[in-house]
Amino acid sequence: MKELTIQASLENIAAVTAFIDEQLEALDCPMKARMQIDVAIDELFSNIARYAYGEAPGDATVQMEIDDATRTVSITFIDSGVPFNPLEIADPDVTLPAKKRRIGGLGIFMVRKMMDKLEYVYENGCNRLTIYKRM
């Protein structure tokens, strides 16, 4: 398992993406899967940066593992901010015109569509959201 702990700030999204992309390149991950994972990182890490700690600074840990048998990458985002399960958010009504849609929820909707599986648990005072993507 590879792991990075970094301050949960919007400025650090690029560092988290570079950390994961380095691992994906070493695994010869297809470009389409890598781009989908990058979009998920951007969405999920930015949500942690914006909402987990309020105005106070806080850290986030990103862990990456590979299941060689299934060629599945798992990336776990861990923060000790406010408990929040993004999987409980209802999907937005994408059939409505943009001006009539509720604000929020589109990012996690996109992540759900691009990833093969998502899991969330709150344990030991931490949010743990794991995304899975088959290469």
* 17-41 pLDDT, tens digit each: 999 999 999 999 999 999 999 999 9
The class of domain 2-134 in CATH terms is alpha beta
In which residue ranges of the chain is pLDDT below 50? Answer: none
* Tokens read off for 58: 């806080």
Alpha-carbon span 17 to 14, nearest angstrom: 5
- pTM of the prediction? 0.90
Count of CB atoms situated within 10 Å of the CB of 20: 23
* Tokens read off for 23: 């691992």
**Residue 98: per-residue pLDDT:** 57
**Residue 88: per-residue pLDDT:** 86
For the chain, helix, strand, coil in percent to 5 are 40, 30, 30
**Residue 67: per-residue pLDDT:** 95
